[in-house]
Amino acid sequence: MKDPLQTTPEMRSKSPLDKQAWSQQHYGSGFNDARPLMNVKILGNGGALNEGLRFNAFIINGQSLVETPPDICSSLYENAIKVENIQEIFISPFHGDHYFGFPYLALKQFALKKPLSVRLLGPRGLKNRITGIIDLAFGDHHPILDWMEEHYLFEEIDENTRCNFAQGQISTVPMNHIVENYGFRLPGKMDFLYFSDSIWDPRLLEYIKNDSTILMDINGSEGNNSIHASERDVVEHLLPALGENSLVYGTHVQQYRESSVPKLIYAQAGETIVIQH
Ligand SMILES: [Zn+2]
């Protein structure tokens, strides 16, 4: 019997996306327990103010993009990632360095004229924010907005969100930042955690349950630590709380940095972090 949740590209181009159909199409009917290694490709490691770095963004398994900074299209191009492979996008806060590249990414998808279906996750007010920035970029009522109605699924996240992402199930991690902002925890044999922009907050430790690979903002290392965590926070508060196989990757930095601290690595654009998942 034909599965009622299965949709063809023709159907998809006519009907708005719904969450169940999206999950069925991209994940199948259930999760595979024997999940393969997870790849986290660093597209950029720069903070809002930086010296010649690509802005902070990464993509998991070539399909789950996190952040759409102003230079996201260039970063994707440099890493030979086709925009049609992006199935879902996570935006952590509505700050320009995390979403001002979205209109140009959407424009590339729109121009492909292919039956894409993309899930977009972001904080409260997501659809208004996205509509607003597309209006600013291309003028009011650009056809891209109608196209997005059919090809995009908008999902607001909050501090209680548990949902599919990157072929697993994430839970959001609230950040302590000047605007609403969420990282996430993706459990596995080795957990993957993304701590987006945040000052150091001891509550972050509550999300560490296993050996973990943590990608985190340490923009405060250059003295900006009233808004961002710093290398010193990692050394004093985070590393002592981690299991022996855990690693911390620093990102969202101001300039090229190398670490002399064991288990702390500065993520670099183009690098792939492989996680036993
Ligand atoms: Zn930022």
Tens of each residue's pLDDT in the chain, 277 residues: 344 334 333 433 344 456 666 555 555 544 444 557 899 999 999 999 999 999 999 999 999 999 999 999 999 999 999 999 999 999 999 999 999 999 999 999 999 988 899 999 999 999 999 999 999 999 988 999 999 999 999 999 999 999 999 999 999 999 988 899 999 999 999 999 999 998 899 999 999 999 999 999 998 877 777 788 889 999 999 999 999 999 999 999 999 999 999 999 999 999 999 998 7
The answer as to whether 10 is a domain residue is no
Structure tokens at 16: 């708005």
Count of structural domains, the chain: 1
Tally Cβ neighbours within 10 Å of residue 148.
21
Tokens representing 18 are 């719904």
Report which DSSP code applies to 234.
I
- How much distance in Å is there from the Cα of 69 to the middle of ligand 1? 9
pLDDT in the model for residue 10: 40
Contacts of 105 by beta carbon, 8 Å cutoff, 6+ apart: 68, 72, 73, 76, 83, 86, 89
Distance CA 191, CA 42 (A): 17
**Ligand 1 centroid distance, CA of 256 (Å):** 16
Residue 24 lies in a domain: no
Give the distance (Å) from ligand 1 centre to CA of residue 87.
23
Structure tokens at 1: 């019997």
Ligand 1 centroid to residue 193 C-alpha, Å: 16
- The pLDDT value recorded for residue 264 is 96
Domain that holds residue 135: 35-275
The CA 222 to ligand 1 mean position distance, Å, reads 15
The answer to whether residue 8 is domain-embedded is no
Flag whether 44 is in a domain: yes
Q: How far is the CA of 107 from the centre of ligand 1 (A)?
A: 23
Residue 259 lies in a domain: yes
Residue 21, domain member (yes or no): no
Domain at 97, CATH number: 3.60.15.10
pLDDT of residue 13: 37
In a domain, 15, yes or no: no
Compute, in angstroms, the gap from residue 204 CA to the centroid of ligand 1.
Answer: 18
Q: Is 197 within the bounds of a domain?
A: yes
